[in-house]
Amino acid sequence: MQTLKLWSKMLFRQWYKKLILAAILGVGLYCSFYLLDNGKNKWKFSKSTQTTRQKTESQDVVEIDPESQIQDNQNVYKVPKENIHIHTCPACFGKDLCTDIETGSLELYKNSKTESHDLSWREAILHKADKVVVSSVSDSSWNKFDQYICNNASKKFPCDVSTGIMASYLASNRVMTADGLRNLYRVLDKSRSEVVLPICATNKLVDELKATFDDDGDGQLNKEEQAQLMTALLMHPSYVLLKFQDTVNTNLPIPNFQGTCGRLAVWEGGLTPLEDHLQESFEERAGLASQLLQLVDDFQNEDPNWYFLYTEFSYNSLSVTKEGEILLTNLQDVAIIDKTLFPQTEDLISGTNERLCNDICFQKFTRDILTSPNVTGVCSQLRHYGQLMYAIVCKQILSDLEEHKTEGFFNYDGNKDQQKSEYSGLLHSPPEKDRENIEEVLRECVQETTAGGRNQAVEELQDILEIYLSYNDVDHENEDGNDDEYEEEENDKESENY
């Protein structure tokens, strides 16, 4: 044992440095391998994490087709085929705009649809430039019309109305007479008040309507053209009036007609409702009021052959162009009267021998024209009763007097507390210097106190409004001349400095 201990001490002394170096070397190698392996694993984890992040980011990014994005951002869309109903023609309005619709030249604005009674309107743009209105009739009304065609043509409903209408009364010679047009309302069991355009029809009006719908220009109305005319008279008389204006070449304050396709009618758009102008200056409103009175005068006197009667004036029936021109846009209830019906006596032409006419007088006239078997006799007296249009305009639109606040011109039930109008009168808040005069003539316009007083009041009101129109002209001249005056002053100053 003693020998072993001595031997160990001797080896330790001789080799301890080498053993220490070997141990250090071994530990160093171990640490190196450990760090190297750990680094590889960290690099693998880092790469894996980076790849995962890239995959996640690529999943979050949704690539959008630039063209579809433009379409989503646009506020217009093409006319849906199901809205056109071209297959129903000639039980429709026509086809002259169908090419534009097929090529996408007519586009509807989103969320622009408005409805009133049986009609609907959509704002649209034609050829990327012209704002227009696209109008049609409710599906329920078309359904009733289609049922009539099928039944009258001895066909079971539903049927092919495009062929059915050609075998129906609407394509026959019997309906294309003055008496046939006056009684057209009976076709769909309507009242006369629902088909008023031909209510005073004469042979002259029949001929003019034939010319209006003679699309092929051969001087006569074939069955297809007649079917379209009858469809329009029954379903959308506004469109008939627009097209009629183009034919007779008169300049009425109504929109310009653009065309039709199937059961859609298109006319001038880009208008603002009259109600949107109620907060304008009095000078601006005076200009609109003056135009409105002139509109009534135009309906009576603009065309030497035709007199236009309209008794539904309201804020909802009038619009204003961007140039500030007032137009009648709800044309469903306009009647066209042949002026040859009027007696050509000197006293009527000059306006003498006038009679006092207010509520009871006007009510009797409107009742007679809607119910009398001798409707042509009533129509011949229309020149005198046409002043009803002035009375309605003054009460329903121009006046802001409390006594004129009730809706509707006629107060049939005698209840003066009937529903109040939601709008102010267009001539509200007049300048103090003219307030009394304006209120006085508006009262006489609505309820005349002497024979001929209403027409006289309209003339006086126009004279008052003319003063404010002159103010507008002066203001515009000053605005246009301001820059020139400023330049002249600056030039004078420069000359003085030199």
Write out the two tokens for 430. 């007049």
Confirm whether 236 is domain-assigned: yes
Token output for 400: 């802001």
Residues 213 and 315 in one domain: no
Residue 363 maps to a domain: yes
Domains: count for the chain: 2
Query: Is the pLDDT reported for residue 124 higher than 80?
Result: yes
pLDDT tens per residue across span 471-489:
655 454 454 444 444 344 4
CATH number for the domain that contains residue 371:
1.10.510
> Model-level pTM?
0.78
- The mean pLDDT value of the chain amounts to 82
Tokens at residue 413, please?
């039930």
The owner of tokens 């209105």 is: 133
| Cα angle 315-316-317, degrees, rounded to a multiple of 5 | 90
The tokens for 210 are 């034939």
Say yes or no: 118 and 260 in one domain: yes
Are 409 and 312 in contact, with CB atoms under 8 Å apart? Answer: no
**Structural domain includes residue 368:** yes
* SS3 assignment, position 196: coil
Task: Verify that 183 and 318 share a domain, yes or no.
Answer: no
What sign for the dihedral angle of Cα 217, 222, 224, 229? positive
Indicate whether 402 belongs to any domain.
yes
**Which of 203, 233, 268 represents a domain boundary (last residue)?**
268
Classify residue 19: in a domain, yes or no: no
pLDDT tens for each residue of 362-412: 999 999 999 998 898 999 999 999 999 999 999 999 999 999 988 778 754
238 lies in the same domain as 191: yes
Domain end point (choices 268, 301, 317): 268
181 by DSSP, 3-state: which? helix
Q: Rounded distance, CA 255 to CA 419, Å?
A: 31
Whether residues 352 and 216 fall in one domain: no
pLDDT in tens, 307-329: 999 999 999 999 999 999 999 99
The answer to whether the CB of 331 falls within 8 A of the CB of 268 is no
* Same domain, residue pair 118 and 221: yes
pLDDT of residue 422: 82
Of the residues 217, 248, 268, which one is the last residue of a structural domain?
268
Nearest alpha carbon to residue 235 among 316, 150, 332 = 332
Residue 143 and residue 383: Cα distance in Å, rounded? 38
State whether 240 and 286 are in the same domain: no
- Structural domain including 439 reads 272-477
Residues 222 and 164 in one domain: yes
The answer for residues whose C-beta is within 8 angstroms of residue 135's C-beta and 6 or more apart is 119, 120, 121, 122, 236, 238, 239, 264, 265, 266, 267
Inter-residue long-range contacts of 412-415, CB under 8 Å, 24+ positions, other chains counted = 412/363
Q: Is residue 64 part of a domain?
A: no
Taking only the tens place, the pLDDT of each residue in 329-354 is 999 999 999 999 999 764 444 444 57
Question: Residue 95 above 60 pLDDT?
Answer: yes
Which tens digits make up the pLDDT trace of 250-277?
899 999 999 999 999 999 999 999 999 9
Answer whether residue 21 is part of any domain. Answer: no
One domain, residues 205 and 223: yes
Token pair for 79? 């006319």
Same domain, 126 and 187: yes
Tokens in use for 459?
């003339």
pLDDT at residue 29 in the model: 52
Burial class of residue 183 in the structure, from the number of CB atoms within 10 Å of its CB (0-12 exposed, 13-18 middle, 19+ buried): middle
- Same domain as 312, residue 252: no
